[in-house]
């Protein structure tokens, strides 16, 4: 039985697109980057920790497999996680405005005695945003709980000049990489 270790409704929606039955494990894993930890390694570690913590929750379930993922926005080596408040979201959007940033999503799949991981890296260019556009987006509330203070699948897509990489990866679960992991574990045909 497959389980998704995530509170994200977007990840559950994306995983459902693969046509699988799965359970959801609601976990609260601290997401704190180590002082000398590179962004790429940080994202990979958090995904592994989510999957591992989820497996501990369902260890008694026969043939349990747990999928964990983490998505971060990176600009100039700085990780833009989920903003704490509207002021932090404004700061993030101003920094991303007119620039190309990286979105890294790591996916870990674990079962008893087995683990595999895949990483999706995408380049996203945000158009130059006016103060009025930023204010309107903040007022929408769509930024809440989103890495980098935006949801590419929502109204923010009007501000994306281009995307090179995985759209579903930027949303939070790269379906190509995820399906390959699931096939390795015999969970997807």
In the set 70, 76, 85, 131, the catalytic residue is: 70
Average pLDDT over residues 87-103: 98
- Vertex 85 angle, CA 135 and 7, to 5°: 110
Average pLDDT over residues 82-96: 97
In whole angstroms, how far apart are CA 34 and each of 30, 39, 43, 63, 102? 12, 9, 11, 33, 19
Query: What is the pLDDT at residue 51?
Result: 97
Pairing of strands 78-80, 160-164: unpaired
Write the DSSP string, 54-99.
HHHHTTTSTT-EEEEEEEEEEETTEEE---SSHHHHHHHHHHHTT-
Query: Which of residues 77 and 178 earns the better pLDDT score?
Result: 178
CA distance 87 to 54: 33
Query: What is the pLDDT at residue 102?
Result: 98
What pTM was computed for the model? 0.93
Percentage of the chain beyond pLDDT 90 is 89
Average pLDDT over residues 130-135: 98
Domains of the chain and any CATH numbers: 2-184 (3.90.950.10)
In a 3-state reduction of DSSP, which class is residue 19?
coil
Instruction: Assess contact for 174 and 14: CB atoms under 8 A.
Output: no
Average pLDDT over residues 38-42: 93
pLDDT, mean over the chain:
95
Q: Is 70 a catalytic residue?
A: yes
**How many other β-carbons are positioned within 10 Å of the β-carbon of residue 82?**
18
Structure-block tokens of residue 47: 């995904």
Average pLDDT over residues 122-129: 98
Of 31-35, 48-52, 60-64, 131-135, the one with minimum mean pLDDT is: 31-35
**How many other β-carbons are positioned within 10 Å of the β-carbon of residue 56?**
11
In eight-state DSSP terms, residue 158 is G
- Vertex 52 angle, CA 49 and 58, to 5°: 140
Query: What is the pLDDT at residue 31?
Result: 82
């Amino acid at each position: 039985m497959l389980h998704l270790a995530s509170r994200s409704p977007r990840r559950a929606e994306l995983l459902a697109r693969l046509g699988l039955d799965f359970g959801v494990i609601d976990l609260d894993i601290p997401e704190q980057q180590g002082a000398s930890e590179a962004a790429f390694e940080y994202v990979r570690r958090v995904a592994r920790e989510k999957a591992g913590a989820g497996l501990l929750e369902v260890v008694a379930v026969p043939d349990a497999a747990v999928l964990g993922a983490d998505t971060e926005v990176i600009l100039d080596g700085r990780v833009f996680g989920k903003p704490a408040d509207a002021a932090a979201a404004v700061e993030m959007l101003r920094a991303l405005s007119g620039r190309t940033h990286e979105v890294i999503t790591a996916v870990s799949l674990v079962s008893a005695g087995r683990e595999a991981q895949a990483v999706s890296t995408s380049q996203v260019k945000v158009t130059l945003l006016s103060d009025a556009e930023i204010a309107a987006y903040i007022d929408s509330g769509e930024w809440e709980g989103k890495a980098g203070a935006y949801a590419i699948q929502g109204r923010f897509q009007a501000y994306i000049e281009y995307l090179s990489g995985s759209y579903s990866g930027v949303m939070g679960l790269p379906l190509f990489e995820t399906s390959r992991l699931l096939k390795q574990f015999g969970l997807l045909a």
